[in-house]
Amino acid sequence: MIDFLQDSYEWLLALHIISVISWMAGMFYLPRLFVYHCQVEKGSETSELFKVMERKLMRVIINPAMVASWIFGLGLAFGMDRWSEPWFHLKFVLVLLMSGFHGFLARWRKQFERDENSHTEGFYRKMNEVPTVLMILIVFLVIMRPF
């Protein structure tokens, strides 16, 4: 299996990058939708449209992209035996945090779906920065491998 992963490195890397880009695009967009959703009246036609947009973004793009990112990323990690490298440990923790944030987005989306959102648009504006900061740290770790 390790030989297959090593022989497929370029394919795994390309698919990992594509899936991460898709995951991040959704993670950047969904909190922005929440900001706008906060500005409309619950039960309005616009609110119902936001619910559809948020649900489809999560189910069609964000969830599958996260799963693909994990599958291809783990394939790369096992194929290249990154588990002993200290920078990789920190990257792995940051990706776990990103996945946890994904979980929060899913929870907040369900609250909007039930018209039970309790957060302000300011809250979602701040939360919109979380995936950006995590992504920057992860990219620097992967490229620089500082330790």
Opening angle at CA 68, ends 27 and 84, nearest 5: 100
Q: Which residues contact 4 (CB under 8 A, 6 or more apart)?
A: 79
Q: Which residues contact 70 (CB under 8 A, 6 or more apart)?
A: 99
**Hunting for tokens 């616009």 — which residue is that?**
46
The response to whether 126 counts as a known ligand-binding position is no
Opening angle at CA 135, ends 132 and 140, nearest 5: 125
The response to whether 16 counts as a known ligand-binding position is yes
Return d(Cα 66, Cα 130) in angstroms, integer. 16
Binding residues: 16, 91
Annotated binding site for heme: 16, 91
